[in-house]
A = this chain, B = another copy of it.
Amino acid sequence: MSALIEKPPGVRKPSRARSPNGLDLADSFPGEVIPLLERELYHSTLHHAGLPTGLEDALRHAVGIPHGGGRRWRPLLALAAARACGGDLEDALGVAVAVELTHTASLVLDDLPCMDDADQRRGTSATHRQVGLSGAILLSIGLLARSAELLGRSRQGGGEMAGVWGRCFGLSGMAGGQAVDLLGTFRKGGCHRRLHRRKTTDLAAFAVWGGATAAGAADTTREALWRFGEDLGWAYQLADDARDLDEDAALGKAPGGRRPAAQSIRLLGRARRRLEEAPGISSEGLALLAGLGCRIVGAPGQTPRLQPGGLPC
C-alpha cells in the first residue's frame, strides 16, 4: 500500500556534487557519503509506472540527476548534524533527501512565469520550460509529497519531523516568505520582515535539526542546532546579497555589498559560538558542521566576500 519504490531502482552513475565555484563541500566527509546521497536522491524520484512520459525525467533534471545538482549543502548539513550527534549517517539519509527535495520544489515554483519567471536552473531548462506550467506545479507537489513520505518513515521522530517540516515550508515559513516577497507587502523592521527571512532560514535550520532528530539527539542539542542553522541560513543569504551588490557596484549602479557582508560575518561568528556551546556535539561533528559554513575571502580594505567552505574561527 505504501511502498516507496514501486519499480526496480535502475542503476545510473551518481553525479559528483561539486559546488559551482569549484569548492567540494564533501571534502570533510568520508568518500562514500556523496555517492550514497546521490543514489538515495535517484531512488526518491521513482514513482508509479503510469506517470505520463517525460514527467519523471523532468523530476530528475530538477533534482540535478544525472547532470549534477547544486552543492547539496542542505542534505550535507543534515548528515553532518546526525554524525555530530553520534548517529548513523544511514538513519539521516531520509531527512537529507527530504530536505533536498523540498528545496528543489521551492526552486521549481520560484522559476514559474508567475513568480520569478526564470528559464534556466541548475545548468538546464527550468522545469516549466520542459513540462509546462501544470506539469511543473504537479511536479513540485510530488517533490513535497515524497519528502513527507521520507520524513514520516524515519526510524526516530518521524511524526515530529513531519510536523515541524510542515511549519517550515508553509505560509508561516518558506511559502509565507515567498508571498511577502511577491505580493509587495514587505515593510522594514516588522513582522513582514521576520516572515520574509524565513524563506531562507527555515530549511537550513530544519536540515540541521532534522539530522539531529533522526540521530536521537536530546532536545537541548536540537534547539541549539536549530538556532545555529537559522544563523547559518541567514548569513548565507546575506553573503549572496553582498555578492550581487558588488556586481552592481562594478557597473556603477549601487554602493556595494560591504554592509550585508559585515552582517554576514557577525552572524557566522554567532553561529560558531552556538555550535561550540551546543551540548553533546562531538569535536568531529563540530568540524564537519563548521566546514559546511561560509569562509571569508578578500584582500584587506576590500569588501569581504564569503564562499562556502568553513565557519570563521
Contact of A171 among B115, B138, B167 (CB under 8 A): B138
Number of A interface residues in the complex (CB < 8 A): 74
Contact of A148 among B115, B157, B163 (CB under 8 A): B163
**Alpha-carbon separation in the docked complex, A93 to B164 (Å):** 19
Dominant SS at the A interface?
helix
**Alpha-carbon separation in the docked complex, A98 to B182 (Å):** 27
Copies in the complex: 2
**Distance (whole angstroms) from the CB of A158 to the closest CB of chain B:** 2
With A158-B163, A167-B145, A185-B53: A179-B135 Cβ-Cβ less than 8 Å:
yes
How does the 8 Å CB contact mask read for A73-93 relative to B, with 1 for contact and 0 for none? 000000000000000000000
Whether B146 pairs with A144 at a CB distance below 8 angstroms is: no
With A114-B132, A133-B114, A191-B48: A153-B163 Cβ-Cβ less than 8 Å:
yes
With A154-B159, A159-B154: A183-B137 Cβ-Cβ less than 8 Å:
no
A1 to chain B: closest residue by CB: B226
- A240 close to B (CB within 8 Å): no
List 12 A-B pairs, Cβ < 8 Å: A6-B172, A48-B195, A49-B191, A50-B196, A55-B183, A59-B171, A138-B179, A141-B169, A142-B175, A144-B166, A148-B165, A159-B161
